[in-house]
Homo-oligomer: A and B are copies of this chain.
Amino acid sequence: MDAEAIKQSLEGSGLRCTPQRYAVMAFLMEHNRHPTAAEIFEAVNRADPRSSRATTYNNLRDLVQAGLVREVAVEGRAARFDVKGMRHHHFICDRCGEVEDMAWYDVPKPAKGSLGKRIVRECELIFRGLCTKCAPRRASG
């Protein structure tokens, strides 16, 4: 599909467009479910070329570092991965652990504890960055 676009975005981030890395990226874009590393590893190995588990993890780490992919931690389950496209929120199912995207503009109008057919138990803002201990000091210190 947008093979060239994938190549562009990889190389634009200083990553070679290797077959294995391309396969990870393509799989994530094609299925915008939120697969685990293990699912991605399996999927890319159903097609050629084969990729080892280490490579799958390496590539996911590289893609996350490059800002092309987001890792979503889920309690008690394997992390899930998500191409970073439009800004969006996440919905995580208590029972199956599935992670769903929720459009940014859909979020402000939740009605009575539900969003569509979902049942929302809790909702939490998570900030990520550097804590006061880790943030670089200003020149005054």
Chain A residues proximal to chain B, CB less than 8 Å: 71-76, 79, 89-96, 98, 100, 102, 107, 115-135
Contact = CB atoms under 8 A, between A and B. Distances in A.
A93 B73 CA distance: 14
Given A75-B71, A95-B134, A120 B115 contact: no
Given A76-B79, A79-B75, A79-B76, A98 B131 contact: yes
A128 B98 CA distance: 10
Ranked 5 nearest A-B pairs via Cβ: A73-B73, A93-B131, A121-B129, A95-B134, A117-B132
A36 B95 CA distance: 23
Contacts of A73: 73-76
Given A135-B118, A135-B119, A129 B93 contact: yes
